[in-house]
């Protein structure tokens, strides 16, 4: 998705342009967002808010309306696909695509895992019908018990009951990828923790080999905060070349850093995570360069809130005369965050999509709590959001 009126090669966006970043937001919406980021950015307030919310939900107190009008509204598209399509229409008006993300997680019952498949199939149907939904997505732990993924990843022999259960997981994966192929709707598989990721990689690569012959439809996710993933990416590329299929990749930094380090320490193995942020940044940008250089075989999405990484890719495209709307290259950010990146890239004609989580308020709470924690712990993330919103509010007052 892009604005046909904008120049397609040559312009590097100004990510500090708050007029473009917040053009779709009313004064009241900006005030609400500033208020919310101020609370999230205050660790003790955020912690108290999370604790009170958990208690209130557990006691079935009537706070759903409050959550829905504040943090849910900022970071989620709605409770259902239908509700979220209203959010998608607003994003489309700014040339931004929507990736509907059913953010119900940690399900282990077979019936719940089957329900994830049905929900994702609905998304695939919607994606086929609408140009503003360029990708579908699901989490592997939405279609498999987490512990089973861990067993398969460890390489130990499966019991007959586990083998039967794993065959059902493979069938779910096959159902989703076959549907995506039939609908010609690209499907992304999210990443998981390192100790369950090997099973996911094997499954997704098998699906790529089957369904990415003509064009990239199935995408795996690579977390570059792991120090071994740049090597994995290159090996996956070599396998795609040898197998005669396209490699679809979403590049992210990673979401489970504390969890990964704690588990490594507890179990006495070296942490799979880079020792510092510089290592992660280096590998992320190296992955962007590698995918760009091998775009004849790799289609990729740079899922990043890092300004430098987004500008790096925009500049590479400009320097090599690659059209901003080249279907092999997408940028993506989470809904409710980094609008200065998404909206300015879109205004310059690049393919941009927002990850738009949806689901019942109660079931999306783990996602929202993670967003709040992330905004508190990632140095400068909340400060950056807040300062850009304040800059725009001042600009409007002065205008």
Mean pLDDT of 24-37: 90
Q: Is pLDDT of 219 > 70?
A: yes
pLDDT class of 399 with cuts at 50, 70, 90: low
Taking 50 as the threshold, does the pLDDT of residue 15 lie above it? yes
Separation of alpha carbons 230 and 279, rounded Å: 11
What is the percent of the chain with per-residue pLDDT over 90, rounded to a whole number?
74
Model pLDDT, residue 377: 52
More confident call, 64 vs 304: 304
- Residue 7: the pLDDT is 46
pTM: 0.92
pLDDT bucket at 67, cuts 50 / 70 / 90: confident
pLDDT of 17 over the 70 cut = yes
What is the rounded (10 degree) CA torsion for 117, 118, 122, 127? 10
pLDDT at residue number 55: 75
Contacts (Cβ under 8 Å, ≥6 apart) of 369: 50, 53
Strands, E assignment, 236-338: 247-252, 298-303, 329-334
Is the separation of the CB atoms in 334 and 382 below 8 Å? no
CB 349 within 8 A of CB 8: yes
Query: Across the chain, what does the average pLDDT equal?
Result: 91
* pLDDT in the model for residue 12: 82
Weakest mean pLDDT among 186-195, 233-242, 282-291, 381-390: 381-390
> How far apart, in whole angstroms, are the C-alpha atoms of residue 292 and residue 283?
14
pLDDT given at position 4? 41
Mean pLDDT of 369-395: 76
**Is residue 8 predicted with pLDDT exceeding 90?**
no
Residue 303 backbone dihedrals phi, psi, to 5 degrees: -95, 95
Q: Which residue has the higher pLDDT, 57 or 287?
A: 287
Where are the domains positioned within the chain? 78-363
Answer yes or no: are the C-beta atoms of 358 and 103 closer than 8 Å.
yes
Judge whether residue 207 has pLDDT over 80: yes
Give the whole-number percent of the chain exceeding pLDDT 70: 93
Give the lowest-confidence range in 65-69, 166-170, 237-241.
65-69
352 three-state secondary structure: strand
Query: Which one, of 225, 180, 233, 185, lies nearest residue 207 by Cα?
Result: 180
Cβ burial, residue 225 (10 Å; 0-12/13-18/19+): buried
CB atoms within 10 A of CB 211: 22
Helices 277-293, 229-243: axis angle to 10 degrees equals 20
**Residue 88 or residue 54, greater confidence:** 88
Over range 283-291, report the average pLDDT: 98
CB 116 within 8 A of CB 142: yes
Architecture per CATH, 78-363: Alpha-Beta Barrel (3.20)
Instruction: Give the pLDDT of residue 156.
Output: 96
Q: Distance between CA atoms of 360 and 32, rounded to whole angstroms?
A: 22
What is the per-residue pLDDT for 6? 44
SS3 292: helix
Structure tokens at 287: 């992955």
Provide φ and ψ at 216, rounded to 5°: -75, 115
Count of other CB atoms within 10 angstroms of residue 46:
19
d(CA 72, CA 235): 39
């Amino acid at each position: 998705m892009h604005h046909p009126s904008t120049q397609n090669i040559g312009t590097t966006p100004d990510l500090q342009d708050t007029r473009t970043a917040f053009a779709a937001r009313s004064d009241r919406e900006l005030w609400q967002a500033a208020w919310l980021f101020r609370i999230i950015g205050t660790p003790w307030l955020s912690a108290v808010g999370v604790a009170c919310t958990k208690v209130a939900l557990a006691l079935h107190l009537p706070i759903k309306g409050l959550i829905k009008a504040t943090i849910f509204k900022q970071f989620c598209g709605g409770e259902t696909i239908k509700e979220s399509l209203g959010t998608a229409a607003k994003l489309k008006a700014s040339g931004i695509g929507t990736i509907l993300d059913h953010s119900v997680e940690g399900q282990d019952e077979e019936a719940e895992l089957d329900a994830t498949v049905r929900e994702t199939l609905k998304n695939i149907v919607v994606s086929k019908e609408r140009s503003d939904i360029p990708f579908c997505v699901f989490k592997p732990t939405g279609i498999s018990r987490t512990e089973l993924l861990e067993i398969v990843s460890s390489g130990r022999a499966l019991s007959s009951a586990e083998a039967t259960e794993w065959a059902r997981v493979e069938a779910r994966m096959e159902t989703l990828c076959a549907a995506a192929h039939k609908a010609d709707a690209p499907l992304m598989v999210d990443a998981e923790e390192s100790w369950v990721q090997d099973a996911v990689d094997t499954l997704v690569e098998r699906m790529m080999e089957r369904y990415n012959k003509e064009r990239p439809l199935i995408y795996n996710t690579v977390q570059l905060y792991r120090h071994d993933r740049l090597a994995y990416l290159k090996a996956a590329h070599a396998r795609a070349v040898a197998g005669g299929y396209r490699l679809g990749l979403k590049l992210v930094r990673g979401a489970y850093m504390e969890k990964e380090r704690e588990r490594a320490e507890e179990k006495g193995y070296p942490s799979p995570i880079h020792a510092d942020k510089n290592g992660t940044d280096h590998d992320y940008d190296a992955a962007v360069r590698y995918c760009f250089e091998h775009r004849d075989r790799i289609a990729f999405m740079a899922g990043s809130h890092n300004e430098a990484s987004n500008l790096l890719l925009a500049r590479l495209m400009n320097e090599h005369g690659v059209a901003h709307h080249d279907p092999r290259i997408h940028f993506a950010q989470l809904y409710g965050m980094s609008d200065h990146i998404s909206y300015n890239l879109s205004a310059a004609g690049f393919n941009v999509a927002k990850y738009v989580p949806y689901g019942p308020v109660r079931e999306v709470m783990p996602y929202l709590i993670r967003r709040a924690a992330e905004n508190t712990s990632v140095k400068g993330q909340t400060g950056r959001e807040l300062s850009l919103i304040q800059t725009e509010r001042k600009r409007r007052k002065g205008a």
